[in-house]
Amino acid sequence: MADPSKPRAPFAPWDRREIPGRFSVEETATRVGHYKWLEMRIFELMGGWVATVPELDIKLRLGTHCYHHAFHSELWHTRLPELREMNPDRLTVPPNPEMEAFVAALGEPEAADRTIEKLVGLYRVLLPHLIAAYTYHLNNTSQITDAPTIRSLNFCLQDDLEEWREGEMIIQSLIETPEEVDRAAAHQASLSKLMLAAGGAVGPDSIGSFDMEASDAVPG
């Protein structure tokens, strides 16, 4: 029989989680506010495309993906008051003007014959960067003190990875000529430069920095 008076280690031998994460409460709240802003912009953009793209199969898939991002935005909206005692709307802001410029450019291909450009911007530029930001956050937050955020990140990543795969397959089915390859590549390059200027989906700390990682690894 176990001795109830004997002190026990805080975690089981198989549990080697670390209590402190890389982010403070303030930093987490700031990131979550950026997530909510971006997810809402994606929802609005895709909702508009559902009404304008001529391809029925793509229209249906965009409709499904669109509501994923509405759900994600609501997840982050619910999380914000738990992180900071303030109005969530005050934290729901873009990380910088460069990201606002990126989102504006993402929505520019409005003509019915620009479906390739629409999908390339979303599935080959924005979603990979958002997945990277979510993954970095997931890998660097506290498994103990930030479990609700981890749960929300896992929900978002599951949807976004599925969308990324499906979106890429749709793009491949649309590109049938060398000229369309060039169109896709040119638009991807243009938006990637804007994303680079923004520093990533939620700004310059979207996936951390190699300098910070290197300094952490240096003893002493």
Whether residue 172 is contained in a domain is answered as: yes
In a domain, 220, yes or no: no
Per-residue pLDDT of the chain (220 residues; tens, 9 = 90+): 567 777 776 655 555 556 678 888 889 999 999 999 999 999 999 999 999 999 999 999 999 999 999 999 999 999 887 776 667 788 999 999 999 999 999 999 989 999 999 999 999 999 999 999 999 999 899 887 888 999 999 999 999 999 999 999 999 999 999 999 999 999 999 999 999 999 999 999 999 876 554 445 444 3
The count of domains in the chain is 1
Write the burial class of residue 58 (CB in 10 Å: 0-12 exposed, 13-18 middle, 19+ buried): buried
Read out DSSP for 187-209?
Answer: HHHHHHHHHHHHTSTTSTTTT--
Tokens for 5, please give them.
Answer: 């008076």
Q: What crossing angle do the helices spanning 56-83 and 25-52 adopt, rounded to 10°?
A: 160
Question: pTM for the full model?
Answer: 0.87
CATH code at 103? Answer: 1.20.1260.10
* Residue 1 domain-assigned (yes or no): no
Asked whether residue 136 is domain-assigned, the answer is yes
Q: Report pLDDT for 214.
A: 46
Is residue 212 in some structural domain?
A: no
Q: Is residue 100 part of a domain?
A: yes
What residue numbers bound the domain in which 154 lies?
A: 25-201
On whether the CB atoms of residues 133 and 201 are closer than 8 A, the answer is yes
Residue bearing tokens 């300094």: 215
Within-domain flag for 185: yes
Residues with Cβ < 8 Å from 6, sequence gap 6 or more? none
- Flag whether 118 is in a domain: yes
